[in-house]
A and B are shown apart, each in its own frame.
Chain A
Amino acid sequence: MKMVRRVAFNLFAWSVVGLVAFPLIWMVITSVKPQFELFRIPPTFLPETVTFEHYWTLIYDTPFLKYMRNSLLIAFGTTLVVIVVATLGAHSLVRFRYPGRERLAQLVLFTYLLPSVVLVLPLYLLMVWVGIANSLFSLVVAYTTFALPYALWLLRSFMQGIPDDLEAAALVDGATRMEAFIDVILPQALPGIISTSLFTFILAWNEYLFALVLVNTDEARPLTTGVMNMLISSFNIEWSLLMAASVMMSLPLVIIFAFLSSYLTRGFGAGGVKG
């Protein structure tokens, strides 16, 4: 009886998983079908001929790899900047006492409310003024507008979960505040920092609107706008290439995720997300 229930539950659970993952599986299948098979009516389920030509086309005949490099640089750059700044900031908000601290914490949440659309143009003017318009760096700066409040907010909750006594003990042992921060707080907060990095990376990797308006050269264009621009146009929609591009766009995330997935839930578990 118990066995039957187990099997039934597993079947049910895996069909839910299958349902959620189906679009992605379909994406992979479509990407290895030759273009003419896509427009077959009725559609074929498994490809009759498996071809990797779309992948080769993307790699050799298009700026895809350049976009990929840009996306990686932007996402890593944003993550690095945001995490360093946010970790220090969150530490300050949680462990120090100074006037205006509470207001500041609320302000963080408020800045999170700003819609990107309204920031685009003033930001662009700012970039031009500073002289970094149309560059990878301009996107890193732009992405901090939404990534920093988010990361700060997450890290603050993680750090609130670290007991005060630990730092106090270190201070009693004669450590300075910064030493205590590096030796005690950072290791404790590490799972939280890693999972926040992951979330930040995802945000930066996936952004579309800023990239659309702020950047216009292939030297700085990330994958999101690059692929759309390149493959969806008024003269053609190359579904097979789009699906191949989608698969390749997702690969870096799969790899990163494979290494860090355990931190995701651990991070949340350790700190617990608190208000």
Chain B
Amino acid sequence: MATNPLDRRYALLGAVLIAPTILIFSAVIIYPLVSAIYLSLFTIFTPTLRGQWVGLGNYAELMASNEFWRSLANTFIWTVFTLTLQIVLGIAVALMLHQNMVFRSLARSLILFPYFVSTVVAVLVWRWLFNDLYGILNYLALISGLLQRPLDWLGSMPNAMISIVLVGAWKYFPFVVIAVLARLQSIPDQLYEAAKMDGAGPIARFFDVTLPQLKEVLVVVILLRAIWDFKEFDLIYLLTGGGPVISTQTLPLMVYKEAFGLNDMGRASAIAVSMMLVMLVFMVLYLRSAGRSEREGAR
């Protein structure tokens, strides 16, 4: 209760401290957001920004367009698979790096590295690995007899989707490693001792002790990564450009194409707004269920 003068002064100070944040948010986020919603009600020729009011026409068109639904589905497929891989790999590797191994800090640095290199670098390196003629992956697969002829990693389905999911997982799983590793280090040893006394094996110990301890951090990591993956543009745009046909075209790529390829800023904004709505719904559902289970866990 901000009733005494001191509290009121504190509230003022608090407001002053948060003011720069709010200012920046309004200028570079709220304003573009509002203009995006506004633009989505017009058909707009991007270079001139001239357009005609169409109300919800853009949205109606989207709902009827196969491309939109396909891109939405692609976005989900990409997000779910790459995120799952990131989490599973991240936990597994974190557990591994938590053990004693020779040159552990070097191993940690190497593992974290994919997260540090820029997407452009990651894409270039993988495109070079995937190269049909001079790529090392095809060559290794050919001499080991896995393949009869070079595989087309990025240009046919389902290879293209699998490839971007794999590269995405490779690029971003270290983020999970960092978070999980930090948490692992703070789990008290007594918990494991107690579980051992109860006769739990390593697998049971993981599920009974480690996983519940990791839960809190995983809830946040999954949320952050899910949003980031859902929005991913650079990696997919640079790896496949959305092809073949539109098999790997996710919503951000569709927005880009509509806005700058087809010069229809209105429709592009409508897609972006719909995309945000989808994310918002999932985020609310997710936070609610995470919050509920947390409260139950505490009980």
Q: Do A and B share a direct contact in the complex (Cβ within 8 angstroms)?
A: yes
Binding site for B on A (CB under 8 A): 9-10, 13-14, 16-17, 20-21, 23-24, 26-27, 30, 38-43, 85-86, 88-89, 91-93, 95-98, 101, 104, 107, 109-123, 126, 141-142, 144-145, 148-150, 152-153, 157, 177-178, 202, 205-209, 213, 223-224, 227-228, 239, 242-243, 246, 249-250, 253-254, 257-258, 261, 264-269, 272-275
Q: How near does chain B come to A82, taking the closest CB pair, in angstroms? A: 9
| Contact with B134, one of A41, A144, A148, A152 (Cβ below 8 angstroms) | A41
B275 engages A115 (CB within 8 Å): yes
Determine the distance from Cα of A206 to Cα of B283 in the docked complex, in whole angstroms: 26
Determine the distance from Cα of A261 to Cα of B174 in the docked complex, in whole angstroms: 13
| Contact with B220, one of A38, A205, A273 (Cβ below 8 angstroms) | A273
B231 engages A116 (CB within 8 Å): yes
B28 engages A144 (CB within 8 Å): yes
Q: How near does chain B come to A221, taking the closest CB pair, in angstroms? A: 13
> Is B107's beta carbon under 8 Å from chain A?
yes
B125 engages A243 (CB within 8 Å): yes
User: Which residue from chain B places its CB closest to the CB of A208 in the assembled complex?
Assistant: B234
| Contact with B101, one of A10, A122, A209 (Cβ below 8 angstroms) | A10
Given A96-B11, A253-B116, A275-B219, also A115-B233 (CB < 8 A): yes
**Inside 8 A of A10's CB, which chain B residues have their CB?**
101-102
Within 8 A of A (CB), among B17-63: 17-18, 20-22, 24-25, 27-33, 35-36, 46
B185 engages A27 (CB within 8 Å): no
Binding site for A on B (CB under 8 A): 2, 7, 10-11, 13-15, 17-18, 20-22, 24-25, 27-33, 35-36, 46, 93, 96-97, 99, 101-102, 105, 107-122, 124-126, 128-129, 133-136, 139, 143, 170, 178-179, 181-183, 185-186, 216-217, 219-221, 223-224, 227, 231, 233-234, 237-238, 251-252, 255-256, 259-260, 265, 268-269, 272-273, 275-276, 279-280, 283, 287, 290-291, 294
B234 engages A209 (CB within 8 Å): yes
**Inside 8 A of B182's CB, which chain A residues have their CB?**
264-269, 272-273
**Inside 8 A of A38's CB, which chain B residues have their CB?**
134
Q: How near does chain B come to A2, taking the closest CB pair, in angstroms? A: 12
| Contact with A30, one of B13, B97, B128, B183 (Cβ below 8 angstroms) | B128
**Inside 8 A of B7's CB, which chain A residues have their CB?**
97
Can you list the 6 inter-chain pairs with the closest CB atoms, starting with the nearest? A96-B14, A268-B182, A118-B272, A206-B118, A89-B21, A92-B17
Q: How near does chain A come to B209, taking the closest CB pair, in angstroms? A: 17
Our count of residue pairs bridging A and B at CB distance below 8 angstroms stands at 279
A178 engages B13 (CB within 8 Å): yes
**Inside 8 A of A119's CB, which chain B residues have their CB?**
28-29, 32-33, 36
B118 engages A223 (CB within 8 Å): yes
User: Can you spell out 10 A-B residue pairs with CB atoms less than 8 angstroms apart?
Assistant: A20-B111, A89-B17, A91-B17, A96-B11, A117-B272, A121-B259, A239-B128, A246-B120, A253-B117, A274-B216
**Inside 8 A of A113's CB, which chain B residues have their CB?**
227, 231, 276, 279-280, 283
Q: How near does chain B come to A114, taking the closest CB pair, in angstroms? A: 6
**Inside 8 A of B237's CB, which chain A residues have their CB?**
209
Given A40-B134, A208-B120, A246-B125, also A272-B259 (CB < 8 A): no
| Contact with B120, one of A41, A114, A224 (Cβ below 8 angstroms) | A224
User: Which residue from chain B places its CB closest to the CB of A111 in the assembled complex?
Assistant: B29
| Contact with A121, one of B10, B17, B46, B252 (Cβ below 8 angstroms) | B46
Given contacts A24-B114, A206-B120, 13 further A-B contacts (CB under 8 A): A20-B111, A27-B121, A27-B125, A85-B21, A93-B18, A96-B15, A121-B259, A224-B120, A243-B124, A250-B113, A257-B109, A275-B290, A275-B294
Determine the distance from Cα of A103 to Cα of B156 in the docked complex, in whole angstroms: 46
B21 engages A24 (CB within 8 Å): no
Most buried by B among A141, A228, A265: A265
B96 engages A16 (CB within 8 Å): yes
B35 engages A122 (CB within 8 Å): yes
Determine the distance from Cα of A129 to Cα of B272 in the docked complex, in whole angstroms: 24
**Inside 8 A of B128's CB, which chain A residues have their CB?**
26-27, 30, 239, 242-243
**Inside 8 A of B18's CB, which chain A residues have their CB?**
88-89, 92-93, 96, 104
Determine the distance from Cα of A233 to Cα of B44 in the docked complex, in whole angstroms: 30
**Inside 8 A of B120's CB, which chain A residues have their CB?**
206, 208, 223-224, 227-228, 246, 249
